Amino acid sequence: METSVYIKKFKIAIAIVVAAFVLFILIIAKTIPSIQSYYSLKKEYTQSESKLADAERQLENLKEAKMQEQTPEVQLAKAFFRPIGSGLDSETAISEEFAEILQVMRDNKVKARSIKYDYDPQDDNFVKNAGAKYHVCRITADMVANYSNFEGFLRDLFKHEHFLEISKLEIVPYQKDKKILLINLQIKLYAQKNS
């Protein structure tokens, strides 16, 4: 009797081992596709990251190219100011151009504390190399403005239809009110001589 109990227990143990083995194989069979899909997804993710990085680089390159295309157009579009009369001295020839700059200051509520003029300065490259073709006026202005008004002034200077050069720009906040700027600006205005 004892042997039949042992045989019965042995058969139950074998049945449990076989059932565990079958269960193990079923779990492995279900896990292998999950593992394969995990590695497949990981590979796709890596490829997608690489494609995204490439696309971002291309986008940045396109943005830079567009900016470079736009910048020369703006620079090339600016013509030199041409006064109406001929045989004018530098002060008279540039006065109309200077009046436009003063209007830009008024439009943007920028106040001038002082303005100094230097006509046909000898250290200017146009005066040195093409003095017979151009009048030049270097204007040094001490101005007062708030941030938004000065931003508008600079934007309008950039959009100004005639060629000009901003030679120097110093900005310091006013000590008693940091919203106010003390500005030292030096610009050069150019006018073609009519011969």
For 69-95, write each residue's pLDDT tens digit: 665 444 445 777 776 666 667 677 778
* For the chain, percent of residues with pLDDT exceeding 90: 19
**Same domain (yes/no): 102, 70:** no
Q: What is the pTM of this model?
A: 0.54
d(CA 127, CA 108): 31
Which has more confidence, 28 or 88? 28
Q: How many domains does the chain have?
A: 2
**Same domain (yes/no): 115, 186:** yes
Which tens digit of pLDDT belongs to each residue from 141-188? 999 999 999 999 999 888 888 888 888 999 999 899 888 889 999 998
Q: Is residue 181 within 8 Å of residue 147, measured between CB atoms?
A: yes
For residue 172, what are the domain limits?
Answer: 90-192
**Same domain (yes/no): 127, 178:** yes
Residues with Cβ within 8 Å of 96's Cβ and at least 6 positions away in sequence, in order, are: 81, 83, 84
d(CA 110, CA 114): 12
d(CA 85, CA 184): 32
141 to 80, 88, 102: CA distances (angstroms): 22, 24, 11
**Same domain (yes/no): 57, 126:** no
Residue 82 lies in a domain: no
